[in-house]
């Protein structure tokens, strides 16, 4: 490692929740960091939209750039920190400008990486610059470094996690307080956990961006966020949470990437996890990631997935690495060696299923459903008729029936349910929640 003693001059674009927290943390930790690294880290310029905005930090002493791209290309900085956000626009232009000028980049921007990560990593590699993004997945949890470096000696079988605090908060509140999805979403918005337009979080898209990054780090495949099967938590009801509890499960929105016979599978959906599992214990806005790997067996990291200070912690760790002269391939291996093989299609997913049907109280209904399952060799672990309360089926006079299947293929379940719907015994679209094995 080359020993450098001059200060590392950093330029920060974006002074919102995360940018302001990075400046505060660097201020607070500057002496300790310099001691650890053997080199001072100095913020030398900043950029945001509104120079006059009160941010709770003193930036008046720093040179201000109206244009983040100009800051990224400036000779006054050695490292560019992008904290603007968004998959394109100014964030992309500025990151490209910094890398093109040979500067290393630190970013927390999962949307940008999910869309342009391969191209940006190739550019960083070509220029001999670092592209670091610890904060882009699970905030303060050092999951990127764990996968990229800490587990380099392992073959990873599966990585899965609670990657969106808003969704976990809503599901936790629903389960613990017996509140509806809509009530919990309103509460999350009032507390500032959910955006005014929460689609990105509750629809599973934010989790998918993070999963795309984890998949590449874990399996050495090229990022392909478009290949991820995505379902959000909007259709999870109190009836599902109650049934899950009685059956020994909890429902979590998981991002899962797994090595399967059909290839690497990537999926985001509400998931039944065994109540005894480490991931099931994670409640509220907290994030968690579990890794199944051959040498370590199972590893779970739990911690704050968002918030200024926790996210800044990850950003400062990246800055410290770059200050020390560490240059790791952004995704753990050279871009040219990342495999571009297609991901496994969701129809080939194999696992157990929870199915909740609103069944009209008519003779022959239960037998017809059982027949449709048997026709496709779907084995049922249990079939339970439940109370009507909270299932949404009061108005139709239908009765909730919950089926738990043994492992079968997604396409087989879908075909069986199409046949059940066509038989006309059920009042609403079947609820299907995948069960994740421990």
Ligand X SMILES: NC(=O)c1ccc[n+]([C@@H]2O[C@H](COP(=O)([O-])OP(=O)(O)OC[C@H]3O[C@@H](n4cnc5c(N)ncnc54)[C@H](OP(=O)(O)O)[C@@H]3O)[C@@H](O)[C@H]2O)c1
Q: Does 207 bind ligand X (CB under 6 A)?
A: no
Question: Closest separation between CB of residue 308 and ligand X, Å?
Answer: 6
User: Could you give the angle at the alpha carbon of 145 between the alpha carbons of 140 and 147, nearest 5°?
Assistant: 115
| Residue 429 is a catalytic residue | no
Q: Could you say which of 8, 11, 14, 369 contacts ligand X (CB under 6 A)?
A: 14
Binders of ligand X among residues 54 to 113 (CB under 6 A) are 68, 83-85, 90, 108-110
* Smallest separation, CB 195 to ligand X (Å): 10
Catalytic residue, candidates 103, 110, 210, 252:
210
Number of residues forming the site for ligand X (CB under 6 A)? 25
Q: Which is nearer to ligand X, 17 or 216 (CB)?
A: 17
Rule CB under 6 A: which of 115-174 touch ligand X?
135, 139
Q: Helices 205-219 and 110-127 sit at what angle, rounded to 10 degrees?
A: 30
State which residue, 150 or 307, has the beta carbon closest to ligand X. 307
Closer to ligand X at the Cβ: 165 or 332?
A: 165
DSSP state of 9: E
Residue 396, class by beta-carbon neighbours within 10 Å (0-12 exposed, 13-18 middle, 19+ buried)? Answer: middle
The nearer residue to ligand X, 104 or 408, going by C-beta atoms, is 104
Scanning residues 249 to 308, which ones bind ligand X (CB under 6 A)? 306-307
168 contact partners, CB below 8 Å, separation of at least 6: 162, 252, 253, 282, 283, 284, 285, 286, 287
Q: Which parts of 6-88 fold into alpha helices (H)?
A: 17-37, 68-73
Q: Which is nearer to ligand X, 107 or 391 (CB)?
A: 107
Angle (nearest 5°) at CA 343 between 341 and 345: 140
Task: Please identify which residue in 28, 36, 49, 437 interacts with ligand X, judged by CB under 6 A.
Answer: 49
**Comparing C-alpha atoms, which of 373, 438, 375, 377 is closest to residue 401?**
373
Least Cβ distance, residue 304 to ligand X (angstroms): 9
Which is closer to ligand X, CB of 216 or CB of 237? 216
The strand order across the sheet containing 131-132 reads 64-65, 41-47, 8-13, 79-82, 104-107, 131-132
Binding status of residue 15 toward ligand X by CB under 6 A: yes
Q: Rounded to whole angstroms, how far apart are CA atoms 46 and 51?
A: 10
Determine how β-strand 431-435 pairs with β-strand 380-385: unpaired
Q: Out of 4, 7, 16, 62, point to the residue binding ligand X (CB under 6 A).
A: 16
**Which residue among 10, 12, 13, 222 contacts ligand X (CB under 6 A)?**
13
Q: Does 213 bind ligand X (CB under 6 A)?
A: no
Backbone angles phi, psi at 428, to 5 degrees: -145, 170
Write out the catalytic residue numbers: 210
The contact set with ligand X (CB under 6 A) reads 13-19, 47-50, 53, 68, 83-85, 90, 108-110, 135, 139, 306-307, 311
């Amino acid at each position: 490692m080359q020993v450098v003693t001059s200060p590392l001059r950093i330029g920060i674009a974006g002074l919102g929740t995360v940018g302001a927290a990075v400046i505060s943390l660097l201020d607070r930790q500057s002496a300790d960091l310099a001691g650890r690294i053997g080199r001072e880290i100095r913020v030398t310029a900043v950029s945001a939209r509104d120079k006059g905005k009160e941010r709770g930090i003193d930036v008046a002493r720093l040179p201000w750039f109206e244009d983040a791209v100009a800051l990224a290309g400036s000779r006054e900085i050695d490292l560019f920190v992008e904290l603007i956000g968004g998959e394109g626009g100014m964030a992309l232009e500025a990151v490209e400008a910094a890398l093109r000028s040979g500067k290393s980049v630190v970013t927390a921007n999962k949307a940008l990486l999910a869309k342009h990560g391969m191209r940006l990593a190739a550019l960083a590699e070509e220029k001999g610059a670092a592209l670091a993004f610890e904060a882009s997945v699970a905030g303060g949890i050092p999951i990127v470094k764990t996968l990229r470096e800490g587990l380099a000696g392992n073959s990873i079988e599966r990585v899965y996690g609670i990657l969106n605090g808003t969704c976990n908060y809503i599901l936790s509140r629903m389960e613990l307080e017996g509140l509806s999805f809509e009530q919990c979403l309103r509460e999350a918005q009032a507390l500032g956990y959910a955006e005014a337009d929460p689609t990105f979080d509750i629809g599973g898209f934010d989790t998918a961006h993070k999963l795309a990054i984890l998949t590449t780090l874990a399996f050495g495949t090229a990022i392909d966020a478009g290949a991820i099967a995505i379902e959000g938590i909007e259709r999870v009801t109190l009836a599902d949470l109650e049934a899950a509890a009685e059956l020994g499960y909890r429902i979590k929105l998981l991002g899962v990437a797994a090595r399967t016979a059909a290839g690497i599978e990537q999926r985001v959906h509400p998931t039944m996890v065994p109540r005894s599992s480490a991931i099931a214990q994670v409640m509220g806005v907290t994030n968690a990631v579990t890794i199944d790997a051959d040498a370590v067996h199972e590893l779970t990291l739990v911690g704050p997935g968002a918030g200024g200070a926790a996210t800044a912690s990850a950003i400062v760790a990246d800055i410290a690495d770059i200050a020390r002269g560490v240059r790791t391939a952004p995704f753990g291996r050279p871009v040219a060696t990342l495999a571009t093989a297609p991901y496994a299609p969701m129809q080939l997913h194999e696992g157990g299923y929870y199915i909740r049907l609103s069944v009209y109280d008519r003779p022959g209904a239960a037998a017809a459903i059982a027949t449709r399952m048997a026709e496709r060799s779907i084995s049922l672990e249990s079939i339970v008729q439940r109370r009507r309360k909270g299932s949404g089926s009061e108005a139709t006079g239908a009765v909730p029936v919950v089926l738990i299947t043994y492992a079968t293929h997604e396409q087989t379940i879908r075909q069986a349910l199409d046949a059940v719907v066509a038989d006309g015994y059920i009042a609403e679209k079947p609820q299907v929640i995948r069960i994740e094995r421990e």
